[in-house]
Amino acid sequence: MKYSYYPGCTLRTKAQQLDAYARASAGVLGFELEEIPEWQCCGGVYPLGSDEIATKLSSVRALNYAKEEGQDLVTLCSACHHVIKRVNDDMKHVEDIRTRANNYMQLSEPYAGETKVLHFLEVLRDQVGFEVLKEKVVKPLTGKKIGAYYGCLLLRTSKILAFDDPENPRILEDFIRAIGGEPVLYPYRNECCGGYISLKEKQMAKTMCDTITESAKGFGAECLITACPLCMYNLNKSAGEELPVFYFTQLLAEALGVKEQVDAQLGKKAAVYLEQSGEGCKCQGKLNEPGEERTGTQDRNKEEQKETCEEGGRDS
Amino acid sequence: MNSKKSQAEMIQEISGVNPLKCMKCGKCSATCPSFDEMDIKPHQFVSYVIHEDVEALMNSKSLWKCLSCFACVERCPRDVKPGKLIDAARQMVVRQRGEGYLSPDEIPELLDPELPQQLLVSAFRRYRR
């Protein structure tokens, strides 16, 4: 089974693990994530204004690509999932937005919400099945007490996202059981981590996350799992060493026995970046050296070096 | 008066919210994680729109404390969507040239090595045009 895959900006940069563990795990579970070429950032937050069209177009482009491929669209980041699913709903049900977005897009066939949007967790639950996942686990996380942190963006608004019960969700708990762990229920698992407020109101976000992490610890959680890089960042500010926060895909990869392999790949990438970043990017300086005789080979080298350089730059 | 009225109309148009649907149960304010930080509380937003005092909303610090967590939208028994009303007021501020809650010059000192791109993108979308 192949899916059109929308990674999103942060999975290319700060949250590479979230992406890499998911891809490797998908391989074990028998499905493939085909990255949508030239996807554009979803904007991180759903544009709420009913007259906002341009800010929804990057989602429409991704959705239409998946439609043309005849595939469902899979996301991993909670925010991308939230934005793309809601824009898809608009395209399906809100005539004004559909008409105006299509006027911008000028597609050969107008897009009207045909694509099915799935979060990776929904693929695990509804397409793979947690029972099948359980059978594929080679290193169960037996005895590990794991708190699921849902946050807002996976669940609300539930009429549109239709992801799980917004007040008493269970998909992450079922996931934890499938990989052999022991889910810890705590009351703040679907409360907000502060989201983008942490850019300017750092203390406010910290206070909110303290409540969440204290609650999780109080109910006996040894770690938290999340699907959102921003939740991860905010929670890490208050969770401390006692309560590590992991992407759910990391524990998935661990249970499926592919974590080491992914870590080695990520390590290599990081090493390349470190080598390049000593005093800025050395290869760029070298390329621009004047008077250098340009031959065909050098030009080719130049292209190659440039590619590595940009690759490294994304790691920053 | 005239301009005030058009602002109230505009806020309803952007948000798609009908403030008259509200029955003042206060559930939105009860569930809001930013309640303590807000000068105008979520359940009061509808009243400001009904009384056409949009200027007060646009000057409220509540606009920049809302987290877009959709707790109020999810839990409203009348489907009023207070969060959308707050966002419409925020839009009316940031759509004015140079207005907003974040300027690019502030960014460098707000950064730290772990900060995800998602945070900058999201904040810019909500705080600035």
ipTM reported for the complex, 2 dp: 0.95
Angstrom distances, CA of residue B83 to CA of A17, B42, B68: 33, 8, 7
Name the token pair of A186.
């705590």
A216 within 8 A of A251, measured Cβ to Cβ: no
Residue A51 has its nearest CB partner, among B14, B64, B119, at B14
Q: Give the mutation candidate from A168, A192, A199, A212 for the B interface (greatest B CB count, under 10 A).
A: A199
CATH of A2-121, one of 3.40.50.2300, 1.20.1050.140, 3.40.190.100, 1.10.150.120: 1.20.1050.140
Contact in structure between B99 and B93 (CB atoms under 8 Å): yes
Cβ–Cβ under 8 Å, residues A195 and A228: no
pLDDT bracket for residue A237 (50, 70, 90): very high
Radius of gyration of chain A (CA): 21
Say how far apart CA A162 and CA A144 lie, in whole Å.
Answer: 29
The nearest alpha carbon in chain A to B63 belongs to A197
B17: nearest Cα among B116, B63, B85: B85
Among A14, A43, A156, whose Cβ lies nearest the Cβ of B116?
A14
The pLDDT score that the predictor gives to residue B5 is: 57
* Residue B120, C-beta contacts closer than 8 angstroms, at least 6 positions apart: A199, B107
Banded model confidence at residue A271, pLDDT cuts 50, 70, 90: confident
User: The tokens of B13 are what?
Assistant: 């148009």
Contact A111, A67 (CB under 8 A): yes
Q: What is the mean pLDDT of residues A216-241?
A: 96
Domains and CATH numbers, chain B: 2-101 (1.10.1060.10)
Residue A32 CA to residue A25 CA, distance in Å, equals 10
Q: Taking CB atoms and an 8 Å limit, are B65 and A201 in contact across chains?
A: yes
pLDDT at A313 over 80: no
Whether B109 shows a pLDDT value over 60: the answer reads yes
Residue found by looking up tokens 């003042």 in the block: B24
Q: Give pLDDT tens digits for B79-95.
A: 999 999 999 999 999 99
Q: Is the pLDDT of residue B2 over 50?
A: yes
What angle is formed at CA A62 by the lines to CA A30 and CA B95, rounded to 5 degrees? 140
The pLDDT value recorded for residue B3 is 58
> Does A88 have pLDDT greater than 50?
yes
Place of tokens 């005789």: A293
Question: Which residues of chain A does B102 touch, with a Cβ-Cβ cutoff of 8 Å?
Answer: 199-200
Q: Could you give phi then psi for residue A94, rounded to 5 degrees?
A: -105, 105
- Please indicate whether, in this complex, the C-beta atoms of B121 and A41 are within 8 angstroms of each other: yes
Per-residue confidence at A273, pLDDT binned at 50, 70, 90? confident
User: Model-level pTM?
Assistant: 0.89
Residue B117 scores a pLDDT above 90 = yes
Model confidence over A142-151: pLDDT tens digits? 999 999 999 9
* Chain mean pLDDT for chain A: 90
For residues A256 and A138, the answer to whether their CB atoms sit within 8 Å is yes
Nearest CA in chain B to A157: B74
How far is C-alpha A165 from the chain's CA centre? 21
